[in-house]
Amino acid sequence: QLQLVESGGGLVQSGGSLRLSCAASGFTLDNYVIGWFRQAPGKEREGVSCISERGSATQYTDSVKGRFIISRDNAKNTVYLQINNLKPEDSAVYHCAGYWRPNAHCTRDKGRYEFWGQGTQVIVSS
C-alpha cells in the first residue's frame, strides 16, 4: 500500500516560514513524481508545486514562485516544501501526492496523481 504522510504544518505569522515534509511509507520514492497541493475552505484543490523523480524538473504555481522551494531526498524517502514569506492567502490544508513516472517532467494536474496523503494544515495570521 502506497502511503504518504505529511508533517510540518502549523500556525505562523505573516512573513514567517515553514518546512513541510512528505514521507513515503511502504515503498521507495524513486521513480515517483511528487506534487504538493493545497485546499482552502470553499476552494478548489490547487497544484502548488511538483518535482520529478530525480529532482531535475520542478514547477510552481505563479503565486508561490520565489517563496516556495520543493526538494527531495530519495535516500530519506522524503520530499520537502520550504515555504517562506508566508501570506494569509497561503492558509490551507497542504497535501502531497504521487504518481509513478520515471525519467519524466512533472505536472501539477491533480487528475494525474494516483495516491495522496491526508494533509497538514497551515494557518497564517496577519
pLDDT digits (tens, 9 = 90+) for 45-69: 999 999 999 999 999 999 999 999 9
Q: What is the CA radius of gyration of the chain?
A: 13
Model confidence over 61-93: pLDDT tens digits?
A: 999 999 999 999 999 999 999 999 999 999 999
What pLDDT was estimated at residue 102? 79
- How far lies 95's CA from each of 49, 110, 119, in Å? 11, 11, 4
- How far lies 32's CA from each of 8, 97, 99, 126, in Å? 21, 10, 5, 36
What pLDDT was estimated at residue 1? 78
pLDDT of residue 2 exceeding 90: no
Model confidence over 17-32: pLDDT tens digits?
A: 999 999 999 899 988 9
